[in-house]
Structure 1
Amino acid sequence: MSTATPSRSTPDMPAPHETPIPGAAARLAAQVSAMLPVADTARTRLRPATLTDFDTYAEIACDPVRGRGLGGPVGRNEAFRDFAAMVGCWLLRGHGLWAVMHEGALAGFVQIGFEPGDEEPELGWFFTGAHEGKGLAREAAEAAREIGFCLLGLPSMVSYVDSFNSRSNALAGRLGADRIPSPNADLFIWRHRRPE
């Protein structure tokens, strides 16, 4: 691990690790990304997240309110590490983070993740403030859940939702998930039903 002083990004200039390097490495990244599943819903398109999506991820993760759902809020460098881990999950586990597009704009993200402390794959969603409350998270989560169960053959999926997050808990219920006992009173666990 490097001991060099980390570079700082500004709104006008992202840090070097946030910037794609053109050439063979970028082409390889694009080839790997093109092999991952995409999905279209009535109003959204799920595509694998790329480095250029990080600004929107950081907007959510660093926000004092929205970032709480991701264990934060966090600083930009920690947000980058979390983003990289979610994207890297594709190579390690065969599932990971999708960018959710709506009318040409990046609205937010859905993921099937598996981080330390998880007992099984987790279906998660997080959106920008401008795209909340429009039903986009439900569409995207339903599509990701279908990919997880039907295409990837996952045996189970849960959503771990902070007890204070009333919107996400309501969405888990609308997705037809069943709330199951949790060892932590501050965390609700929702088990998703396999499609019949």
Structure 2
Amino acid sequence: MNRPTLTTERLVLTPVDLADLEDLQALWADADFTRHITGRPMTTEEVWFRLLRDLGQWGVRGYGSWTIRLVEGGAYVGNVSILDHRRLIDPPIDDPELGWGLAPAFQGRGFAKEALEAALAWADAHLRAARTLCMISPDNLASVRLAERVGYRPYRRTTYRDEPVQLFERPRGANWARTERELGAG
């Protein structure tokens, strides 16, 4: 099983490992971080099972989750993943899902975009799937804008666990990211 390490100018993305548990527990215990994802901090038990799931994806699917650290100094930044969630959702999701989360101290500095671009470049080169998807809470405007910046387009609104979500898709190799001006940021 190939569990690649990806490197960018400022970041190193390593496949998630048991050694990441302490950083993951701190991240998922942060109410600001979890507000758009789970709506509440996660317990140690929930984080443990999340880590086991992420580890297993590499062996079962050939893709998984990466831990994001700074090249300089090695500080924990967050995670980016390509996972098969098998969600109970309508419409069913049969494609790999891109997900990401950065510790609040590292948000707003371009790290998420840099990590997502690296993960998507790897996915474009190695996955057989014709597209990847992501699912975002409509009120998480920062993540919606980021998804659009890296080439995702909305294709369906639905509910997941009784909460509204927006589904986004990106065909493999797509280069249709909207510009900052088109997104109203410029």
TM tier relative to shorter chain: 0.7 to 0.9
Pairwise CA distance, 1:116: 2.8
Q: Is 1:136 the counterpart of 2:111 in the alignment?
A: yes
Out of 56, 67, 74, the position equivalent to 2:34 is: 67
Which has the higher mean CA deviation after the structures are superposed, 80-89 or 149-158? 149-158
User: 1 CA distance for matches of 2:44 and 2:78?
Assistant: 17
TM (norm. structure 2) is 0.81
Task: Render the CA deviation track for 1:138-176: whole Å, top value 9, x for unaligned.
Answer: 111111111112123332101111112111111001112
Pairwise CA distance, 1:182: 2.4
Alignment of 1:134-173 (within 5 A): 134-173=109-148
Task: Render the CA deviation track for 1:56-90: whole Å, top value 9, x for unaligned.
Answer: 21222222221234424221111111121012110
User: 2 CA distance for matches of 1:101 and 1:64?
Assistant: 21
Calculate percent identity across the aligned residue pairs: 28
Higher helix share: 1
In structure 2, list runs of 5 or more residues that go unmatched.
88-92, 175-186
Query: Contact 2:55/2:64 (CA < 8 Å) preserved in 1?
Result: yes
Out of 62, 68, 78, the position equivalent to 1:100 is: 68
**Highest relative contact order (Cα 8 Å, sep 6+), 1 or 2?**
2
Tell me the matched-pair count: 163
Higher strand share: 2
* Equivalent position SS for 2:100: strand
* Equivalent position SS for 1:65: helix
Query: Contact 2:65/2:83 (CA < 8 Å) preserved in 1?
Result: yes
Cα distance change, pair 91–70 in 1 and its aligned pair in 2 (3 A): farther
Alignment of 1:44-83 (within 5 A): 44-71=11-38, 72-83=40-51
Query: Contact 2:32/2:104 (CA < 8 Å) preserved in 1?
Result: no
Query: Contact 2:132/2:169 (CA < 8 Å) preserved in 1?
Result: yes
User: 1 CA distance for matches of 2:37 and 2:50?
Assistant: 9
User: 1 CA distance for matches of 2:100 and 2:3?
Assistant: 18
Pairwise CA distance, 1:194: 2.3
Q: Structure 2 counterpart of 1:112, which letter?
A: I
Query: Contact 2:129/2:172 (CA < 8 Å) preserved in 1?
Result: no
Which has the higher mean CA deviation after the structures are superposed, 186-195 or 85-94? 186-195
Larger radius of gyration: 1
* Equivalent position SS for 1:186: strand
